Structure formats: C-alpha cells, structure tokens
Structure 1
Amino acid sequence: MRNPDVPALRLEEFTPKEIPGLVKLSASVGWDYDEDEVKTLFSAGKVFGHKDSQGLVCSSAAVIPYGKTLASIGMVIVHRECRGLGLGKELTQACIDAVSGGKAFADDMDVANDPILMLIATPEGRPLYEKMGFAAVDCVHKLLCDVYAAPKESPKDSAASVQPLLPEHVEQVVKLDQRAVGAERKSFLQRRIQQARKGVVLLDADGRVTGYGLAIEGPVNLILGPIVAPDDQGASRIVTELARDCQGRLRIDVPSGHHAFRTFLQSCGFVQVSQPPVMIKNGERLPERNGQLFAIAAQVFG
C-alpha cells in the first residue's frame, strides 16, 4: 500500500468478506488477529473501516455491545501509510455512534443513558481517546510466557474440582460472567466457547459452577481468558488446567489487583510486558464488578 488516494478512503461498515483483509492489516502492525478471532468480532459486534481505491483494507475498528449498559471498542488499526489523515478519529466516532442513542444494535432498546464505552488503549492511541472524552479508570497487566512451567504442587481444594466445560454449564457460566464483568455477554460467550481450544469450569462439592476459563488458540499465543473464579486459588487451578500440555507461547491479560494471582503466574514463567490503561466514556467508572474477573477475554473484548 503506497500513496493512498485520500478521497477514496471512505468509511464503511465491513462484512465478513473483509476478514482476509482485516487479518492482513493486523499482521502489518504486528498484531495477531486470525480468521477465527475476526469471525467472533463479526458475530458479537460491528466492524468499521476504510478501503483504498484498489479495495485494500487500510483501517479497522470494532465495537461489541454487552447488554444495555456496556460496550467495548477495539481492533483500532490504521495502516502506517494512512496515518495522520484523521482515520482513527473517524473510526472511533463510528463505533461510538453505533451504540449511542439507545441503539446498541437492538431496535427495541429503551434506555435513558448511552452505554458505558470502554477500551484498552495503546500508547499511540491514548491521546486521541482523551481528546474524544475517554478517561483512564483502570489498567490491565499483559503477561506472556514462552515456556510454561507447571507448578510442582497444583493449588488444591478438596471441596472443588476442575472439569471440562459442557453445554449444560453455559447458563451458569453466563451468570457468573455477568456478575464478574458487570454486564451481560451471553451472545459473545456462546461464540467464544465455540471458538475455544479448551474450556473448563470450577465445580463446588454440590456440582455448582463457581468459576470458568477458556483457552483460545491464536497464530502466536494460546490466549488464556476469560477466567472467572471465586478466589486466587480457583483462578490458579483453572490456569493450571488450561495450560496443561501446552508446548507454545501463552498470553494472559489480568485486570488490576489480583497480586497473588499474578505472583502465581510469574512462578509459572509468565513475564509482564505492559500495563495498558482501561479508558471509558459516558461514565466515571466501570460497571460494578464482584472482583472475580481474573483474566479478560482479549483487549478487543475487554
């Protein structure tokens, strides 16, 4: 892509036919979106972008609504040769407009306030988001692991067990997730579970689901998340099971706090590589959460 024809860079809502171009755009900036990940974006939200006069994808942004109260913006990418043209602002505004005024992709929504918009910012994007009314309210800890070292003694709890996630667990998982995230994410979770290489649940002595975790196979990393658990020990047990027999690189994004859990991860070979801010608009704080979200799904999904 060279010398883009600026007048030809029209913003549009993309369809799944643009998936190959979006994957290529992601790779051009060193991000690791693959076809399955982008399919999940289309199934759960809307994707916007620009194409040049030859039809090549040169920008992208996605917005995913969670119920009536929260929406996540991510995959905001502008090709290096198209930067400085205001495309990032136009993309972000399209995402904002898509869920403003009671839209949130549902014709029958009747809400008094626009949903809280959240995103996890890169250093390059943060100044733009601040100008558009987003404010940093939290952070996540991005950790990578080249070689996973399973704990010599796995965290144990005789009253709980880690089992494969089965269809009969999904409704309980959705409810647990809603309390942990502060918003209902059923449609997203159903697709994410289908996409997962592995899913597990934490069951108490009565067989009730008290936690869950997913492992998503990416082109570079095995992504661990979301992970919801009642405590650090439960989250550690879920990670141990998800990472079992993994021979490649792993990634996990942990919300702020959870110091003991991050210490456990570091003992298994994880290294923190960044601490990007969580930024929001249309509110002063994230929706109320119960402290049981130990890993997010991915930065695009929040």
Structure 2
Amino acid sequence: MRANLTKVLDSYELTLTDMLPEDVPRLYELSIAVNWPHRPKDWEMAINLGRGYVARDEIGRVLGSAMWFPMGETLASIGMVITSPRLQDHGAGRWLMQHVLADTRARSKVLNATKAAYRLYLSLGFSSRTSVFQHNGIASKVPDGPDHARPMLADHAQAIVALDALAYGADRRALFERLFPVSEGTVILQDGIVCGFALCREFGRGRVIGPVVAKTEQDAIALIRPHVIAHKDQFLRMDTRAEGGLLRRFLDEAGIAFYDTVTTMTLGEVPHGGSVTTYGLANQAFG
C-alpha cells in the first residue's frame, strides 16, 4: 500500500488520490489558476493516455496534479505537474513528483520543465538535455515555402507511427491512436514511402501543430505550411527544438511568434532519435 498519502502544507491538509475522469472540471480550474491553456478536452485526452495523481484539500478542492505517460515499455514522459500558486513554495510539487517517480522507477523518464520547476527536477536527479521553444499566435500570414507535402491518408498511419518511433526513440502507438481521430495530417512521400509527417489538432487556445517529424527543416516547413494555410487568422501553436534557422523564421513570419522556453530533462537511459528529427512536439506533456 502506498505510504504518505496525506501531507500538511502551509495551513492545508492534502490527500493524494488517483486522477479520474470526474476530476476534469477541478483540474481545469487548477490549470486556469496557473495560466495554462488546457481545455477540459485536453485534460480528458491526458487522463485517457496516462496515469496521475491529484492533491485535494479538506473540502475537496484540487490544489495539485502530476501525471506520467507510458511511451513504449521502458520510457515514461512526465507532465501536467501543477500546484496551486499558494502552495508552490511549500513542497507540494516535490511530494507529487515523489509518487510519480515511485510509479515509474523501472522506466527511464523524460519531461519538459518550466523555469519555475527546473530546480525541483534538478534536485530529483534529472539532467538537462535540450531546449524547447514555444511559438504561438494568430497566423496572420502564409510565408512562401516549399509545397511538396500532401494530405495524409488513412493508409499512411502505420508508417507514421514507425517514423515517429525512429525519431522519438520509443513506440508511441497508443498516443497516435488518440491523435489520429482528432487531427488533420500532412505527409512527404519518397518513392511512395512516408519520410515526414505533421499533425494538427485543436488544443488550448486554438490549434497545435505537432508532432512534426522530418529529415530537414525545409521538409518540416513544407509539412506545416498547409496547416498554416488551412487555419490562417486563427491561433496556432508549435513547440519545437529547432534553435533557430529556417523553421523558426517561418513561424515568426507567419505570426506564430516565439513565446517561451522550457527545458527537456531526462532521468535514466533515454534514447536519442535516429535518422529523422522531431521538429514539433505533440505537446509539452507528451513530447
């Protein structure tokens, strides 16, 4: 039986419980309190894909959350770690993370750390790997760019899952089973074989473009440009590890401007990608 399911922080006695679908309304309130953009539907997808905990006070308010998502058999992506602003300096995040780390002790771990949580994750043994640059805004312009991508077909699904595994370093089939029904997709074909793809779906304040996997930045631009065309004058977001260059310049010119940076951190033997690159994340929780 799991120990340490209650904790007194500041003037609150918190109780830890498993995260359930009926927690979505209160989790949505929690994310609003810290200015995260997640809609109830985004929380529902996360709960369907992962496992998590909520911290409740004596009257049932949700004051903290933490989740982990299995990525294949040996890797876990950790995300949706939120604590109420009034508890952020009282150890609530560490308490929640200790339970997530206990659950995932047999797996290597990856997460994307906000500036506020970076020191906590360092103290828990995580190491920095790379930066993720969040771009978002109203897509007010469609910059010139390559146009060799085409719409994704249902027949491309298995090849996309395999290509993502090559780029990510783990099989994320379960994630794509949730993403495909709610996404529009583009692909690049070489001799009839999928060698790049981009998905776009509703998320947060508008839509997110990701995952995006390609061989080159030019291919990545070709893949995302049709989504910018389709959703011009709407709010678009893309989280990318590209440090600069053509892709980020394209996003800026489209009005999808740089907004913030988080740090990808790892614990354990987390694989690096292969011969293709993940240019756009599904979101910061899923990677």
Please give the TM-score of this superposition, normalised by the length of structure 2.
0.90
Query: For residue 189 of structure 1, what is the amino acid of its counterpart?
Result: F
**Identical-residue share of aligned pairs (%):** 28
Whole-Å separation in 2 of the counterparts to 1:12 and 1:38 = 17
CA gap of 1:262–1:219, structure 2 versus 1, over 3 A, is: closer
The residue that corresponds to 1:208 in the other structure is 193
Whole-Å separation in 1 of the counterparts to 2:31 and 2:185 = 26
CA gap of 1:69–1:289, structure 2 versus 1, over 3 A, is: farther
Within 5 Å, which residues of 2 pair with 1:49-198? 49-101=54-106, 115-151=107-143, 153-157=144-148, 161-163=149-151, 165-196=152-183, 198=184
User: CA-to-partner distance for each residue in 1:194-238, whole Å, 9 max, x for gaps?
Assistant: 232x2222223x332222111121241321111112222221111
Q: Aligned residues, how many?
A: 278
Whole-Å separation in 1 of the counterparts to 2:245 and 2:97 = 33
1:166 shift after superposition: 3.0
1:168 shift after superposition: 2.0
Query: For residue 133 of structure 1, what is the amino acid of its counterpart?
Result: G
Within 5 Å, which residues of 2 pair with 1:20-59? 20-59=25-64
Whole-Å separation in 1 of the counterparts to 2:194 and 2:281 = 19
The answer to whether the 8 A contact 2:160-2:197 is kept is yes
For residue 6 of structure 1, the aligned residue among 4, 9, 12 is 12
User: CA-to-partner distance for each residue in 1:62-87, whole Å, 9 max, x for gaps?
Assistant: 10111123211111110112333321
Q: Tell me, what secondary structure is at the counterpart of 2:251?
A: helix
The residue that corresponds to 2:274 in the other structure is 289
Q: Tell me, what secondary structure is at the counterpart of 1:243?
A: helix
Residue 33 of structure 2 is aligned to residue 18 of structure 1: no
The residue that corresponds to 1:298 in the other structure is 283
The answer to whether the 8 A contact 2:139-2:228 is kept is no
The answer to whether the 8 A contact 1:180-1:292 is kept is yes
Whole-Å separation in 1 of the counterparts to 2:167 and 2:185 = 17
Query: For residue 148 of structure 1, what is the amino acid of its counterpart?
Result: S
- Bigger proportion of residues as strand: 2
The residue that corresponds to 2:215 in the other structure is 230
Query: For residue 91 of structure 1, what is the amino acid of its counterpart?
Result: L
Which 5+ residue runs of structure 2 have no aligned equivalent? 1-8
The answer to whether the 8 A contact 1:145-1:271 is kept is yes
Whole-Å separation in 2 of the counterparts to 1:195 and 1:254 = 21
1:291 shift after superposition: 4.2
The answer to whether the 8 A contact 1:138-1:256 is kept is no
CA gap of 1:219–1:131, structure 2 versus 1, over 3 A, is: closer
Q: Tell me, what secondary structure is at the counterpart of 1:294?
A: strand
Which 5+ residue runs of structure 1 have no aligned equivalent? 102-114
Residue 251 of structure 2 is aligned to residue 245 of structure 1: no
Whole-Å separation in 1 of the counterparts to 2:236 and 2:216 = 22
The answer to whether the 8 A contact 2:139-2:235 is kept is yes
1:258 shift after superposition: 6.2
Query: For residue 12 of structure 1, what is the amino acid of its counterpart?
Result: T
Whole-Å separation in 2 of the counterparts to 1:75 and 1:137 = 19
The residue that corresponds to 2:3 in the other structure is none
Q: Tell me, what secondary structure is at the counterpart of 2:37?
A: coil
Within 5 Å, which residues of 2 pair with 1:251-290? 251-257=237-243, 259-283=245-269, 286-290=271-275
1:252 shift after superposition: 0.7
The answer to whether the 8 A contact 2:79-2:285 is kept is yes
Query: For residue 181 of structure 1, what is the amino acid of its counterpart?
Result: Y
CA gap of 1:219–1:253, structure 2 versus 1, over 3 A, is: closer
